A and B are shown apart, each in its own frame.
Chain A
Amino acid sequence: DAMVIQNPRYQVTQFGKPVTLSCSQTLNHNVMYWYQQKSSQAPKLLFHYYDKDFNNEADTPDNFQSRRPNTSFCFLDIRSPGLGDAAMYLCATSRDNVGSYEQYFGPGTRLTVT
C-alpha cells in the first residue's frame, strides 16, 4: 500500500545533541510537509517543499532545518535540541492537483529531549 513512513517512531536525544528525523513516501506526491505537534494541540507547520522549492514558515526557529534529496525522502534536522523541542513531529504529503488537495500524514516521530 502507498503510504508515508516515518523513522524512527520514538527518538530520545540529549539536550544540544543534533538529531535527524526521516520521512519517506511511496505516493509520488510533489509536496512534503513537516509539522510539530505538542500535547493534543493543532499541528504547527514548520516548513514544506513544493517539488524542490523550500518554503520556511516565518516563525520556524533556525534550529530546525530540512533536506529533500529526492521526491521520496525528506529529513528534519534539529541542530541543537532544547527541552522545548520535545514534541511529536509529523510528516505529510500532498499531490496538490486540482481536486486533490488533502494531505496524507505519517504516523509521527515522538521526540524526547533529556
Chain B
Amino acid sequence: EAQVTQNPRYLITVTGKKLTVTCSQNMNHEYMSWYRQDPGLGLRQIYYSMNVEVTDKGDVPEGYKVSRKEKRNFPLILESPSPNQTSLYFCASSLVDGGVSSPLHFGNGTRLTVT
C-alpha cells in the first residue's frame, strides 16, 4: 500500500531533550516536506526537500532540522525542544514530474507535547 509513515504517533517530552520524528514513504517520491498544524492556523511548512541531499527552509524553520540521506526517509529533528513546539506534525511527499503538479500525500501525524 502506498503510504507515508510517521513515527511516533504521540510523543511527550521535556524542554531541551533532543528528539527525532521519522518519516518514510514508499512511493519513490522526490519531494518531501514537514508541516505543523495548530488550532486556527492552516498547515505551515517547516522544511522541504526536492531530492536526496537537497533541503530548504519553509515558513517556520526555527528550532528544527532535517536531513535527506535517502530518498524514502526525511526525519525531523528538534535539537532542543521548547513548549512552543507543542503541535501536530505532518510529513508529506509528492512526485516531482517536470512542471506537472501532483498532490501531496500525508502521513497520519505526530502529536508532540513539550513540557
Q: Are chains A and B native binding partners rather than an unrelated pairing?
A: no
| Residues of chain A whose beta carbon lies under 8 Å from any beta carbon of chain B | none
